[in-house]
């Protein structure tokens, strides 16, 4: 859907200022695949930032605005909701496109 609309995930977040590079940075994928959030990679980035900031998972969860179990569950590689991902990438200060992967439908 993001490719079809030529938009980034951030463009759906209130307060986002649209720029000329909307849609830039999304990974190229074959036509028979779709983009999914790579929750294992997202968890790894969260954990690295948590360690760098010397925080507990409870502190990170409070900052992000999610429950601890929602954050630690990401390590299993399952799916997660769009609002959760956007809160996490905002806390990380990184674009959501960095945490996307190609997946079979």
In whole angstroms, give the CA distance from residue 62 to residue 80.
18
Question: How high is the pLDDT of residue 20?
Answer: 39
Residue 104 clears pLDDT 60, i.e. is over it: yes
The pair of three-digit structure tokens given for residue 39, joined into one six-digit string: 């929750």
User: What is the pLDDT confidence band of residue 101, given thresholds at 50, 70 and 90?
Assistant: confident
Of the two residues 71 and 5, the one the predictor is more confident about is: 71
Question: How high is the pLDDT of residue 23?
Answer: 46
The pair of three-digit structure tokens given for residue 21, joined into one six-digit string: 């590079």
**Phi, psi for residue 101 in degrees, rounded to 5:** -145, 160
Are the CB atoms for 80 and 39 separated by under 8 Å?
yes
Tell me the whole-structure pTM to 2 decimals: 0.78
CATH number of 38-105: 1.10.260.40
Residue 70 clears pLDDT 70, i.e. is over it: yes
Chain segment 72-91, per-residue pLDDT in tens: 999 998 888 888 999 999 89
What is the percent of the chain where pLDDT is above 70? 85
Query: What does the domain layout of the chain look like in residue ranges?
Result: 38-105
């Amino acid at each position: 859907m993001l490719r079809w609309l030529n938009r980034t995930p951030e463009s759906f977040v209130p307060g986002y200022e649209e720029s000329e590079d909307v849609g830039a940075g999304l990974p190229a994928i074959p036509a028979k695949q779709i983009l999914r959030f790579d929750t294992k990679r997202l968890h790894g980035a969260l954990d690295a930032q948590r360690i760098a900031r010397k925080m507990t998972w409870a502190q990170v969860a409070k900052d992000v605005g999610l429950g601890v179990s929602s954050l630690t569950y990401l390590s299993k590689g399952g799916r997660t909701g769009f609002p959760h991902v956007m809160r996490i990438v905002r806390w990380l200060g990184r674009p959501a496109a960095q945490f996307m992967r190609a997946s079979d439908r």
